[in-house]
Amino acid sequence: MTTARSGGHAALVEYLYGRGLLDESWRAVWHAVPRAPFIPCRAWRQGPTACEPLTTEAERLALIHSDEPVVIQVDDGEADGPGIATSSNSQPSMVARMLRLLLVEPGRRVLEIGSASGYVAALLCRRLGDSAVYSVEIDPGLAHHAAAVLRATGHHPNLACGDGEAGWSDEAPFDRVLATCALRTVPHPLVRQLVPGGILVAPLARDFWSGAIVQLTADGSGSATGRFQGSASYMPMRSHRPAPPPPVAETTCRPTIVTIDPRQLLSLGFALYAGARLPGVRMVHVTRPDGAQVWLQDEHGAAATVSTGEAAYEYGARCLWQEAERVHAEYIALGSPGVHDFGLTVTAHAQQVWLHQPGAVVRPAPAREPAS
């Protein structure tokens, strides 16, 4: 199933405009830059458990004209892999949100991290002019594809094949930086390469939360700060892919008391707060018709599993579920702040989440060990 509407690309653009995701300038840009030419013939839909190949042109066009991502690479382009998505043409509504947050205007120079299909670079070229757009792609195959399709569609941005984590120092400074891959932390070179007052927009994905957009403004002295702007789902920058979790100490399994439904941990506001209070703790969840299952784990093998209406268990040298409940109680006492109440400050030495104002940094909580 797709969310495609009759009318193809034009209908998709009007859908985004009707949702308030495009202003008049961006509406004209999107109408002028169809999505289809940027999607390789070989593409996939992200299914519940694996990528599903698009086997017919009708199926391909239906997905392209929907508000859904189109996977354009699996397994970093290697043959005979497990079929894990490693690059995509992002969900159009997500792209529109990111571009709106970038606050571009004529005369601004933009650095994009992650060319992928080349589509976002084309949109920026149409809005700002070719010479103002710089785009870096780490994967040689994707870089070649993006360069070819951009030329074929009449767009000529500045392109490079390399690791976007380092930015593009030879062409800096930039007025705007846009990351189209998820970052665990904001690479400081990207902040240094912004002009004073320059804006960086990026999706972040950390241990406790899977994705949130941050909009930062550089102060000209190597720091940048700004607020989180909602959820985001992007594939991670290659050097920011999380390492596999360590083995869980299963012999230490013990029941634990549960006083809240695990669904209460699933808001992004709480995840931002808990991610700062419980650094290094991962949260994975599965929603079900009758509730949710949550799995917590730290980097030393301590873990907890809790499901709605079922027995709960902890493992290892920490009471992870009890810590999560304690942090949740703090969050409720703070008034259950929303996503936009949280922000991030990036310096050369630290990256700190704050609540309401930059001085109110959310500090790590002490770990709680099980009673002997």
Active site residues: 90
Give the list of residues 6+ apart from residue 28 with CB closer than 8 angstroms, or none. none
CA atoms within 13 A on the CB side of 176: 26
